[in-house]
Structure 1
Amino acid sequence: MNHAKTILPALLGLLVLFWTGDKIGYRIRADMEAGVSGLDMADRFWLDLLDPSHISTHPTDMLCGLTLVAVAGLAWAYRRAARLTLRNGEEHGSAHWAGPRDIKPFIDPDPAHNLRFTRTERLSTDTRRTLRNLNVLLLGSSGSGKTRYYVKPNLLGADMNWAVTDPKGELKRDTESPMKARGYAVHALDLVDLTRSDRFNPMRYIDPAEPQSAILRLTDNLVTNATGDRKNGDGFWEDAEKALLSALIAWVHYTEDEPTLNHVTDMLDQMGASEQDEEREFIVDALFAETRVEIAAMRAHEDDYDEQTRDMLEGLAFACAQYNTFLKGAGETKKSIIITTGVHLAPLQVREVRRILSGDDIHLEALDEGKRVVYLELPDTNATFGFLASVFYQCLFETLVRKADHADGGRLGRDVHCLLDEFANIGKIPNFVRLVATIRSRGISCSIILQTVSQGKSLYRDDWETIAGNCDSWLFLGGNEASTTKTISDRLGDQTIDVIETSETKGANGSWSRSVRKNARKLLTPDELGRLDTSQCIYLLRGIPPFLSHKLTD
């Protein structure tokens, strides 16, 4: 349709030109044959135009018409070839600072329905209206005010439910009373002072619809984050640990009425392996051997078992399959696997930790019900219990996503925002790269708070760019780290500036000249970002220019 609208007028114009040329050619040729003088022909060449129905088919007249069409075509081709695409003042880039008019469409009139970033910039929590997600990447060096100028103002001001990472426990101390005064129920997983913590049972959050997949994810999380970075070539031991731990967790899940990780570590304590007698059976070996016999009997006579027993035995078949992988090792190898797994899970044997894992008071599945806030308090001087933080957030995200998927409208009852302060100390959250891209529609969002870009890259490697790219809001509070300032500088973009160049030649025949040319310049260079005033910050929202603003006040 669009092509037809362009071609039809062009064809009509060419026909008019051919008709005009044919008419003029006919008049001139006829006058020349009649002996009319040149001066008279100049006055008469247009006369045949008064008879629009007359078309001459004489070759000379038709050639005149075609010549006029050809001249018009050449003129069009020349003009098209010489046409310039001009963006005056934007030759090398169009970056510029945004103003109040740019952010106005994204602000909700009710202050409680916004995330606050600067003194003048806010973002409505209604993502369906703004078409922007509420995922935030906050970058700021130590002392730049990440908690003071972002976490606290939003926690105390925005009408959402919260899961908050709290380094050192200071945030809970400062905000617990105001949150309770606003009607919030407060819970805490306190890994700073274990005696004050609510109980948290990760095995309570295993997906009942797909328990085996959930067990594998929980195992992967525990092994990956409890062991930290391994040297190259250690993949065998990590895989062996995962097979053993998956077997134990699956066994506990299918056999205990209220399974906990305490049951898992207790089973691990009962394990052993003999280098001299590889056929020797220890307590756990005997349990799995008896279970394999019972599974075989059930499969041979399924009608003799009720549905609940069959489901349990099928689940235990998964546990036995994982345990068989562990059993394939030699006695010395099995002994090493047991010892290594025990060492890595040693923090779970601490008396206070066993109390925390013995039940669940936090109830993550109810985090969107009423007004609720959960603090995850982490020590900032050691990472002994840091892997429990990643397990906590794995359970939180999987539970809330599952609940939203089964809710009317596919969304939580109240929006839940996770303030992931000291994100690098939480550990690697399973499937986080996929979660951050999909949780918006379910009413879940998160603020990823880091000191430097390199921290995120170190933890998530090739997936980091995807995670950062799924944060529609970036807030830079200041810092000197090279990769961070370069990243922000590149995000700000290039502007076009005028460069004045002068030259002077002295002497008897001296001269002086001045010229102006266009050049590209970063809106702020990395070194300028490193010297940003402590009261200033930079806010970037997808789709609009960046803001150079002042940090929030207390």
Structure 2
Amino acid sequence: MNSRPKDPKTARNKNVLVIGGSGSGKTRFWLKPNLMQMHSSYVVTDPKGTILVECGKMLQRGAPKPGKDGKPMKDKHGKVIYEPYRIKVLNTINFKKSMHYNPFAYIHSEKDILKLVTTLIANTKGEGKAGDDFWVKAETLLYCALIGYIHYEAPVEEQNFSTLIEFINAMEVREDDEEFKNPVDLMFDALESEKPNHFAVRQYKKYKLAAGVVCFKRLIHHDMSKSLKTYKATKQKGDPHEQTENNRPV
């Protein structure tokens, strides 16, 4: 369908910019009269929360349904038939008064999982200097594994962020027991025995490998710190003016 006007030179732009200070009547004399026409769909920004209260009932009832002759249609009792609007509210201040959005309902492939994880990490890292790329990759692998498991294995009613949070809370780690396995580890072990090439299993194994690297780095750091402390303590017991072969103080 070609939506371009036949004569662009004389075609009017359908966009309208209304500029005015507080109390100048932008809502009262422009927005509300347009809403009251109820001839199309609307997206309204309502920062004060008053437009929904004042116009919601009107839109909920809707405009009279026009007949072929252009007049409002009536039922067998002679009452006017209305076409109600479907009102959807997104309230970022009070979530109890808002409709909800479940990103899991829009996951259809592994690519969609990665998109969701990338968006999630980008919006939860906070302000300030970006962290080490290693940690971001490890976090990405973990989220991909957990969300992949939820999408492919969990019942539909459990495919949400609440289940994801429960998984994360169940991932207990015991540094003094390397053989310890939390419920999530056991869950992935069971899935691997049944479906070794499962997307979630592959991502989780990569994450566990990254976790092993972190543990190895911690051990190296601990051993080096211990060695440095021992070295310093040993040198302090000797002569502070001890010289090396090149006659340089240690």
Q: TM-score, normalised by structure 2?
A: 0.59
After the TM superposition, which residues 87-166 of structure 1 pair with which residues of structure 2 at under 5 Å, given as runs?
Answer: 105-107=10-12, 114-117=14-17, 148=27, 152=31, 156=35, 159-164=39-44, 166=46
CA contact (8 A) 2:38 2:59 kept: no
SS at match of 2:175: coil
Give a deviation string over 1:91-138, Cα, whole Å, max 9, x none: xxxxxxxxxxx9972238xxxxx44335xxxxxxxxxxxxxxxxxxxx
Task: Among all aligned residue pairs of Structure 1 and Structure 2, give the percentage whose two residues are the same amino acid.
Answer: 27
1:386-535 equivalent positions in 2, closer than 5 A? none
Which of the numbers 230, 245, 259 marks the counterpart of 2:143? Answer: 245
| Correspondence for 2:200 | 319
CA contact (8 A) 1:274 1:280 kept: yes
Q: d(CA) in 2 for partners of 1:150 and 1:248? A: 52
CA drift of 1:189 comes to 3.2
1:248 Cα deviation after fit: 0.9
SS at match of 2:123: helix
1:235 matched to which residue of 2? 133
RMSD of equivalent CA atoms: 3.7
How far did 1:149 drift? 9.4
Deviation at 1:294, TM superposition (A): 1.3
Q: Which runs of 5 or more residues in structure 1 are unaligned?
A: 1-101, 109-113, 119-139, 297-313, 335-554
Gaps of 5+ in 2: 1-6, 64-83, 216-250
Specify the SS of the correspondent of 1:242.
Answer: helix
* AA aligned opposite 2:59: M
Corresponding position of 1:200: 101
Task: Tell me if 1:255 matches 2:136.
Answer: no
Q: Read off the aligned partner of 1:271 and give its amino acid letter.
A: M
Per the alignment, residue 173 of structure 1 pairs with 53
CA shift in 2, pair 1:291/1:184, >3 Å: same
Query: How far apart, in 2, do the equivalents of 1:202 and 1:247 lie?
Result: 16
Q: CA deviation at 1:226?
A: 2.3
Q: Which has the higher contact order (CA 8 A, sep 6+)?
A: 1
Question: Which structure shows the bigger proportion of residues in strand conformation?
Answer: 1
Q: 1:254-303 deviations in whole A, cap 9, x for unaligned? A: 1122112211111111112222223321110111122112124xxxxxxx
Read off the aligned partner of 1:236 and give its amino acid letter: F
- Secondary structure of residue in 1 paired with 2:140: helix
The partner residue of 1:266 within 158, 166, 178 is 166
1:282 aligns with 182
**Structure 2 CA distance, aligned partners of 1:144 and 1:241?**
49
Larger Rg: 1
Mapped to 1, the partners of 2:33 and 2:141 lie a distance apart of: 43
TM-aligned CA distance change 1:327 to 1:159, over 3 Å: farther
- Deviations 1:26-78, CA, capped at 9 Å, x for gaps: xxxxxxxxxxxxxxxxxxxxxxxxxxxxxxxxxxxxxxxxxxxxxxxxxxxxx
- The answer to whether the Cα contact below 8 Å between 2:104 and 2:160 also exists between their aligned partners in 1 is yes
After TM superposition, give the deviation of residue 142 of structure 1 in Å.
9.2
Number of residues paired by the alignment?
184
Structure 2 counterpart SS, 1:264: helix
- For normalisation by structure 1, the TM-score amounts to 0.29
Listed as ranges, the matches of 1:58-73 within 5 Å are none
- 2:104 counterpart of 1:223: no
From 205, 209, 212, give the equivalent of 2:110: 212
